[in-house]
Structure 1
Amino acid sequence: MRRIEFHFDFRSPYSYLALSQLPSLDAEILYRPFDVLSVMDRVGNVPTSVVCRPKGDYVQRDMRRWAKRYGIPFQPNPAMREADMTRLPRAAIAADRIGAADTAVAALFAALWREPAPLATREDIFAILKGAGIDPASLGDIDAPDLARAFEEATDAAAKRGLFGSPTFFVGDEMFFGNDRLDFVSQALEQIH
């Protein structure tokens, strides 16, 4: 079966960019949210576009270049720092459990990188999901300990598997990092019979 594991952190604009291209790869997408900053710390990586000003300036231009190439809007949420980056992935995990990961992940990424919307509270997140057609009651409590544990376990597994940034894709055991590696992801899928 053609399957892509999509490991992402909602903070990653390149994950948003990559997500826009995944449907064209004609594969089942397995959504794997993880805490990229925790993984980077564990594996000795640093967010160089944050600590290196020239790279940060370049990345701002580069993201817009990729959005133009993909033909998608790119409008970073001005309230990004207020977004609850622990509840977003837990909401994605809860949505995955009810078979709505595609919709939830797309809606939450859109609220961060496409059509800015508040994401600071559980109610904000539920409003986005409800607007996308997901009944928040079907998700249960996104603050439940089992969802927090699932997110921690996903982050632990990401570090153990060798991830160092977001987005990261797996086709089988082959790892690909970055939205600019989707051609290689596509080639790997072609090898699956």
Structure 2
Amino acid sequence: MTAVIDIFYDFRSPYAYFASHRLRRDAITQRGHDWRWCPVSIDVLLNLQAGREPWEAYVDPLPRPKRAHLIADVRRLAAYHHLPLRAPKPPRPNPVPALCLARLLGEKERQAFSYAVFDALWQEQQDISTPEVLQSCLAQAGVETRELDAAFDDAARANLAEVTRQAYARGVFGVPSFVVGDEVFFGSDRLDLLLWRIERP
């Protein structure tokens, strides 16, 4: 049967980057389901889980051993998926303008733009918070050049926080997450389980 699948993602997540490549390379999105791309802020999700205000200053939630494991895990997964992976520059990029811009696009434009931003960040080490890089990503996605002021204003930032809050209320606590109805599948490694769940006889 066909299903409506909401994809919650933040460009700063390497696991979301891996999922984006599986979705395009493995032709998963050609299996007849309705995939809806839903940009959210991982920082806001973490703050909500900790009982903080959405845009409070970032606090690293990982202890040192888990952080070291995450870095090693990401490198292994990149090799496993045969994907180029380069450390972002700056080391902790600001994805908010790109997320806000993605929310201003139509669904098909948003998907193509998101693919371009993921690659700009994780392959080309570009600063995705700059208008120049965002315009380049729009061009790569086949989206006509547009004014970007709306992606940088307070209203767009507030909207991003609100849709992230709504996602959290649905059970989304991290990215990437795939939501079908009231079921949440967290992580790029849950794509196969998701497809099994919705396509089984």
Using the size of structure 1 for normalisation, the TM-score is: 0.84
Partner of 2:103: 93
Q: Give deviations 1:137-168, integer Å, cap 9, x for gaps.
A: 28783235653343122111012112211111
Structure 1 pair 30/62, CA: closer, same or farther in 2 (3 Å)?
same
Partner of 2:161: 152
Q: Which amino acid aligns with 2:101?
A: A
CA distance in 2, matches of 1:143, 1:98: 20
Q: Which amino acid aligns with 1:6?
A: I
Does the CA-based 8 Å contact 1:98-1:139 persist in structure 2? no
Does the CA-based 8 Å contact 1:92-1:105 persist in structure 2? yes
Using the size of structure 2 for normalisation, the TM-score is: 0.81
Q: Which amino acid aligns with 2:50?
A: G
Does the CA-based 8 Å contact 2:96-2:129 persist in structure 1? no
Does the CA-based 8 Å contact 2:89-2:127 persist in structure 1? no
Q: Which amino acid aligns with 1:71?
A: H
Any unmatched runs of 5+ in structure 2? 52-57
- Give the deviation of 1:171 after TM superposition: 2.1
The more displaced of 136-145 and 15-24 is 136-145
- Give the deviation of 1:136 after TM superposition: 2.3
Partner of 1:142: 151
CA distance in 1, matches of 2:182, 2:81: 27
The more displaced of 178-187 and 19-28 is 19-28
Partner of 2:50: 44
- Give the deviation of 1:28 after TM superposition: 2.8
**Residue 65 (1) aligns with residue 87 (2):** no
Partner of 1:20: 21
Q: Which amino acid aligns with 2:38?
A: R
RMSD: 2.6
CA distance in 1, matches of 2:148, 2:34: 22
Does the CA-based 8 Å contact 1:88-1:125 persist in structure 2? yes
Percent pairwise identity: 29
CA distance in 2, matches of 1:3, 1:69: 29
Does the CA-based 8 Å contact 1:4-1:28 persist in structure 2? yes
Q: Give deviations 1:123-147, integer Å, cap 9, x for gaps.
A: 3211222233221228783235653
Structure 1 pair 158/190, CA: closer, same or farther in 2 (3 Å)?
same
CA distance in 1, matches of 2:114, 2:70: 23
Q: Which amino acid aligns with 2:184?
A: M
Structure 1 pair 38/118, CA: closer, same or farther in 2 (3 Å)?
closer
Any unmatched runs of 5+ in structure 1? none
Q: Which amino acid aligns with 1:67?
A: A
